């Protein structure tokens, strides 16, 4: 029954969601449009990293006789290990989303490892096709496909290819086979360029497919807008009519038939007015988040408490609403958290507004979901709480900002911010 006061905003949100799906697919990453789907890609990140480091170690050991500077050769492998470590940390669900800074660092370190490998064999590197640099750069670019937009992957592929293309130029006098320089450049450029562009094609195609599906679903929701509005209005009207028929009309009938108005009649009229006013205020002052909370039962039968006097929950996008609702349900149902009470508090982030000078329409909102864990079977730490909620937090970190998990004596709190839509 909460929709009467908020339905218009809800359908406006659906329309804005349709417009959001028109965003250029090459600017969005699969992780943003399908956060849960990219969770399954993390094992592949480990496989790719192990392959890259193993290949680098194998090629370095196999051509150790050609290494002129052993320390530099070892440093090349070490730098590649660091690049893979940064990639794994950035791709981990607790670090989502995979940001542009992490992508830049990974590609830069991989190219640096290739440069160190070239320097370690300078003057004795007779062939280029057995170098590991171009292959490991290509592997890391391919592994970033689920996490980065197509534009970012194309930029990384082109930039790394340009850098690698310089290596044959400075080594040309030492090659065993005197072939055109362009052929040596092609040998180094093809792997990162090919796999990088393939990764970009995957990223763009995935985002396009998901956005097309979301557009179809949102349009279907708009098609039933009129029916939903009519049904919602009727249900609210019926509730008001039932109050009138049960209490107000009998009172008015008695008042008409009575010869005089007694003081208790005045009090009764005031009570009925308060009831009607309270019903209307309760309907107008509720949001979708109240409905979500009403559908969740804690062990003692109570529902999570929602404290949102400014109706800020209405300013979440469709994806944010789903993620927030899922997180509240997960915290309430987890047996290891064993929440005896759950509260959801939404407040305007006035500090952020003063810092950026934003208007109220574009201000940031702070959300705090707190659970009392006095009945938990064992004490929880922040790391343990994140482990229990890892799949939900992975999605929340993609859709919201400033996600934090705090654990104090008997309380687990998850906080995050979002800009009002």
Question: Per-residue DSSP letters for 227-252?
Answer: HHHHHHHHHHHHHHHHHIIIIIHHHH
pLDDT at 154 over 90: yes
pLDDT at 386 over 80: yes
Read off the CATH number of the domain in which 387 is found.
Answer: 3.30.565
Peptide bond just before 277 cis, omega within 30 deg: no
Q: CA separation (Å) from 71 to 61, 75, 78, 112, 164?
A: 13, 6, 10, 15, 21
The reply to whether 390 and 406 lie within a common domain is yes
Residues 6+ apart with CB under 8 A from 33: 206, 207, 210, 211, 214
Residue ending a domain, among 269, 284, 299, is: 284
Highest-scoring range by mean pLDDT, 107-116, 130-139, 355-364, 375-384: 107-116
Rounded Cα distance, 57 and 136, in Å = 11
Q: Is 298 in contact with 340 (CB distance < 8 Å)?
A: yes
- Please indicate, yes or no, if residue 6 is contained in any of the structural domains: no
**Of residues 15 and 58, more confidently modeled:** 58
pLDDT at 227 over 60: no
**Long-range contact set of residues 292-296: C-beta below 8 Å, sequence gap at least 24:** 292/325, 292/328, 292/329, 293/328, 293/344, 296/328, 296/329, 296/332, 296/333, 296/342
Whether pTM > 0.85 for this model: the answer is no
The reply to whether 151 and 176 lie within a common domain is yes
**Average per-residue pLDDT in the chain?**
79
pLDDT at 361 over 70: no
Share of the chain above pLDDT 90, in %: 31
pLDDT at 75 over 70: yes
- Please indicate, yes or no, if residue 188 is contained in any of the structural domains: yes
pLDDT for 78 equals: 97
Full domain range(s) for residue 306: 288-419
pLDDT tens per residue, range 29-38: 898 888 877 8
Q: Is 87 in contact with 67 (CB distance < 8 Å)?
A: no
Residue ending a domain, among 234, 253, 284, is: 284
The reply to whether 196 and 266 lie within a common domain is no
Q: What are phi and psi of 306, to 5 degrees?
A: -110, 125
pLDDT for 153 equals: 96
**Of residues 7 and 301, more confidently modeled:** 301
pLDDT for 45 equals: 93
Residues 6+ apart with CB under 8 A from 336: 376, 377, 378, 380, 384, 388
pLDDT at 240 over 90: no
Rounded Cα distance, 95 and 246, in Å = 57
- Of 178-182, 337-341, 386-390, give the lowest mean pLDDT range: 178-182
pLDDT at 279 over 90: no
Output the CA torsion sign for 210, 216, 217, 218. positive
The reply to whether 372 and 248 lie within a common domain is no
- Of 16-25, 48-57, 113-122, 260-269, give the lowest mean pLDDT range: 16-25
The reply to whether 60 and 177 lie within a common domain is yes
pLDDT at 110 over 60: yes
When pLDDT is cut at 50, 70 and 90, the band that residue 190 belongs to is very high
pLDDT for 256 equals: 57
HSE-CB of 279 using CA atoms within 13 angstroms: 15
Rounded Cα distance, 91 and 402, in Å = 18
Rounded Cα distance, 201 and 203, in Å = 5
pLDDT at 133 over 50: yes
- Please indicate, yes or no, if residue 213 is contained in any of the structural domains: yes
The reply to whether 189 and 241 lie within a common domain is no
Residue ending a domain, among 248, 266, 284, is: 284
pLDDT for 323 equals: 87
When pLDDT is cut at 50, 70 and 90, the band that residue 262 belongs to is low
When pLDDT is cut at 50, 70 and 90, the band that residue 112 belongs to is very high
Q: State the first-to-last Cα distance of the chain, in angstroms, to the nearest integer.
A: 23
- Please indicate, yes or no, if residue 310 is contained in any of the structural domains: yes
Task: Give me the mean pLDDT over the 241-264 stretch.
Answer: 62
pLDDT at 101 over 90: yes
* Radius of gyration of the chain measured on its C-alpha atoms: 30
pLDDT for 5 equals: 42
The reply to whether 388 and 400 lie within a common domain is yes
Task: Give me the mean pLDDT over the 153-168 stretch.
Answer: 93
Task: Give me the mean pLDDT over the 222-228 stretch.
Answer: 52
Rounded Cα distance, 80 and 74, in Å = 10
The reply to whether 174 and 100 lie within a common domain is yes
What ranges make up the beta strands (E) of 243-337? 305-307
- Of 242-251, 337-346, 412-421, give the lowest mean pLDDT range: 242-251
pLDDT at 94 over 60: yes
Rounded Cα distance, 419 and 421, in Å = 6
């Amino acid at each position: 029954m909460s929709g009467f006061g908020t339905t218009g905003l809800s359908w406006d949100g659906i329309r804005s969601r349709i417009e959001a799906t028109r965003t250029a697919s090459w600017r969005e990453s699969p992780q943003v449009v399908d956060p849960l789907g990219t969770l399954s890609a993390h094992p592949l990140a480990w496989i790719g990293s192990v392959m890259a480091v193993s290949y680098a170690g194998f090629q370095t050991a196999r051509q150790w006789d050609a290494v002129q500077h052993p320390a530099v050769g070892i440093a090349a492998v070490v730098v590649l290990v660091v690049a893979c470590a940064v990639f794994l940390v950035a791709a981990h669900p607790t670090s989502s989303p995979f940001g542009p800074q992490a992508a830049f660092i990974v590609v830069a370190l991989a190219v640096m490892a290739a440069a160190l490998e070239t320097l370690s064999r300078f003057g004795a590197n007779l062939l280029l096709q057995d170098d590991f640099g171009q292959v490991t750069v290509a592997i890391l670019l391919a592994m970033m496909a689920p996490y980065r937009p197509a534009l970012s992957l194309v930029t990384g592929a082109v930039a790394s290819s340009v850098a690698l293309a310089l290596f044959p130029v400075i080594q040309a006098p030492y090659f065993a086979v005197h072939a055109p320089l362009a052929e040596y450049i092609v040998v180094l450029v093809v792997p990162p360029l090919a796999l990088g562009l393939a990764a970009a094609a995957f990223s763009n195609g995935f985002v396009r497919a998901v956005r097309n599906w979301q557009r179809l679903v949102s349009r279907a929701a708009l098609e039933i807008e009129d029916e939903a509005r009519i049904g919602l209005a009727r249900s609210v009207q019926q509730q008001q009519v039932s109050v009138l028929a049960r209490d107000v009309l009998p009172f008015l009938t008695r008042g008409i038939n009575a010869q005089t108005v007694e003081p208790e009649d005045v009090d009764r009229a005031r009570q009925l007015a308060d009831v009607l006013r309270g019903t209307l205020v309760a309907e107008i002052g509720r949001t979708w988040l109240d409905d979500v909370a009403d559908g969740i039962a804690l062990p003692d039968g109570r529902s999570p408490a929602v404290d949102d006097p400014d109706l800020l929950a209405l300013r979440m996008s469709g994806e944010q609403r789903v993620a927030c609702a899922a997180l509240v349900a997960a915290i309430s149902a987890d047996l290891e958290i064993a929440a005896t009470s759950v509260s959801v508090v939404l407040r305007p982030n006035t500090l952020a507004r003063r810092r950026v000078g934003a208007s109220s329409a574009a201000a940031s909102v702070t959300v705090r979901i707190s659970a009392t864990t006095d009945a938990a079977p064992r004490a929880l730490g922040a790391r343990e709480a994140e482990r229990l909620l890892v799949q939900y937090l992975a999605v929340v970190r993609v859709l919201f900002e400033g996600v934090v998990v705090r654990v104090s004596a008997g309380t687990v709190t998850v906080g995050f911010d979002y800009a009002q839509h």
